[in-house]
Each structure stands twice: as structure tokens, then as C-alpha cells.
Amino acid sequence: MAEQPQPISPVKNFFAGGFGGVCLVFVGHPLDTIKVRLQTQPKPQPGQAPLYSGTFDCFRKTLVKEGVRGLYRGMAAPIIGVTPMYAICFFGFGLGKRLQQRKPDDVLTYPQLFAAGMLSGVFTTAIMAPGERIKCLLQIQAATGETKYSGSLDCAKQLYREAGIRGVYKGTVLTLMRDVPASGMYFMTYEWLKNILTPEGKSVRDLSVPRILFAGGLAGIFNWVVAIPPDVLKSRFQTAPPGKYANGFRDVLRELIREEGIASLYKGFTAVMIRAFPANAACFLGFEVAMKFLNWIAPDV
């Protein structure tokens, strides 16, 4: 069973999670840009080399062509969305834990923590889906040489003008397919690692910064091991021209398997894994620091 600080406060989780999400974006966005460009690059013609041969080639070409700003392309959308998104994510996890407690001092099992994490994935989809749609479109337009959107707000306006709210929320089902199981794995792994890393006789609340970073980083890796295949499908679907995939993700899956094989579902794997550890380490450290501050200023909430 997992030891948890008591009592659980979804409200504190909300504010601390928002701060953790901001930390995650600043650390992880450059490699997220590379991941999306690798996942969405066009299939090369016979005899031609692909646009990017891999993670480091994409990183180098982006730096040479666009500078450091190119690595942060499209960051406004996740920054605007990430504070409420991660606030809701951690709130959902806290609420999921509380709903499964019969008494405030009940300690949850790891399957219960997984279930609480899945609830957080459901909670975040309303913000995550349009944010991901806008981010992906902005990240790939620089690579294609087109400048259809001047920024996040312009992208949202054009999507709404062209297809209404459905255009903005394109890819919602795939976002759910990615985030619900991955969020369960994410939070369960973090709680499990915190318990393992806590020295005997010590409280999990007193875990050192290096151990929090390690637990958060590994939790991010476990999260993306589950999330990468639906994330590839989501990126392809959200950046495709209108009407290309009439049957949704099933058409994307069939096309990828037919043309590029099963390995195509793990495109961007290296970029994701390089990003996952530092970004999620920063996220959970930000969360824990914010939570300690909130417990200090409002111990009874």
C-alpha cells in the first residue's frame, strides 16, 4: 500500500498542480516541438531522404533555420492552457483519491491510485484537446515553410471560422485515449517511487529534492511509454487537412501501419524520452514546493 500525506486537499492540489505545469512547459517544450515535427513529417518520395533523419538532426536543423525561438514555437498555447490544465489534472487526482477514501486516514492501494490518475486524465481533456491542436499546427507550419497562422489566438480564430467548435476540438477522442491510461500510470508510478525512495523511519513528505526529481522524472517516462502510440495518432489526425481521415483515428492507424509499419507508432520516441525525465521532474518538484508553501500559509484548508 502507498503512504500519502493526510488529509488530501484537492484545492491545494489545484493550485500546486498549476505551478508544476508551468515548470514542465518551460523545461520540456523544445523537445515537444521536435517530437511533433518528427511525428508529422511527410513521407519522403522514393530516392529522397526524409526531412529529418532523427531527433538530433531535427534539433540541429531547427536551431540553424529558426534559432532558439524555433524550439519554443507554439509555446503560448500550452502556457495559456497549462496552468488550468495541470491545476485540473492534480485536482482530479486529489479528488479521485478522496472519493476512494472511507475515512480521511485511509491509505490507498496502487490500483486505487491508478484509478484516481485516470480520473485526472478525463478532467484535463476539455483544455488539453484544443491546446494540443493549436500547438501542433504552429509547430509544423515553420517546418513546412508556410505561415498560415500568426500565433495561437489567430490559429484558434481560423479553426473556429473554418469548422466551428468541432475544428478547435478535433482529436478529442484520441486525447482521451492517450491521457486516461497514461495519467493513471503517471500518478501511480510517482507515488510508488516516492514510497520506495523514502528512507525507513522517515515520512514521504520529507523526501529530498534529488529524490523528488528522480521519482517525477521516471513517472514521466512511464507515462509516455503508455502514451506514445495514441499521441502519434493524435498528432497526425490533428494536423491533417480537413476530410483526410473520414473515419477518425482508425484511418490514421491503418495508413500508418500500411505505409510505415508498426514502428511508426513510436515516432519521436527518443525526443519524448529525452524530454520526459527533466520536464516531469520539474513538474513534480514545482508541485511539491508549491504544496509545502500552501500547507504553510493555509494548514487547515
**Percentage of residues in the chain with pLDDT exceeding 70?**
96
Does residue 157 have a pLDDT over 90?
yes
Which grid coordinates belong to 272?
Answer: 519524448
Does residue 55 have a pLDDT over 60?
yes
pLDDT of residue 247: 82
Q: What is the average pLDDT across 283-287?
A: 96
pLDDT, tens digit (0-9, with 9 covering 90-100), for 130-156: 988 998 898 788 666 678 888 888 999
pLDDT of residue 263: 86
Q: Is residue 2 part of a domain?
A: no
pLDDT of residue 143: 64
What are the angstrom distances between the C-alpha of 24 and each of 14, 52, 134, 170, 173?
15, 26, 18, 24, 24
Does residue 4 have a pLDDT over 60?
no
- 78 versus 137: which is more confidently predicted? 137
| Of 210, 165, 219, the residue nearest 190 (C-alpha) | 219
Q: Is residue 139 part of a domain?
A: yes
pLDDT of residue 6: 55
**Structure confidence at residue 49 as a pLDDT band (50, 70, 90):** confident
pLDDT of residue 204: 84
Which grid coordinates belong to 193?
Answer: 517511487
pLDDT, tens digit (0-9, with 9 covering 90-100), for 172-215: 999 999 999 999 999 999 999 999 999 888 888 888 999 999 99
Q: Is residue 3 part of a domain?
A: no
Domain that holds residue 67: 10-43+50-296
Non-local (6+) Cβ contacts of 119 within 8 A are 92, 93, 95, 96
Question: Each residue of 21-41: b (16+ CB within 10 Å) or e?
Answer: bbbbbbbbbbbbbbbbbbbbb
pTM of the model: 0.80
Question: Each residue of 132-155: b (16+ CB within 10 Å) or e?
Answer: bbbbbbbbbbbbeeeeebeebeeb
Q: How far apart are CA 112 and CA 73, in angstroms?
A: 38
Q: How far apart are CA 172 and CA 122, in angstroms?
A: 11
Q: Is residue 301 part of a domain?
A: no
Instruction: Answer left, alpha or beta for residue 261, where phi above 0 means left and psi between -120 and 50 means alpha.
Output: left
Does residue 286 have a pLDDT over 90?
yes
Q: What CATH number corresponds to the domain at position 60? A: 1.50.40.10
Does residue 94 have a pLDDT over 90?
yes
Query: In the chain, how many domains are there?
Result: 1
Q: Is residue 1 part of a domain?
A: no
pLDDT, tens digit (0-9, with 9 covering 90-100), for 235-279: 899 988 888 888 888 899 999 899 888 888 888 788 788 888 999
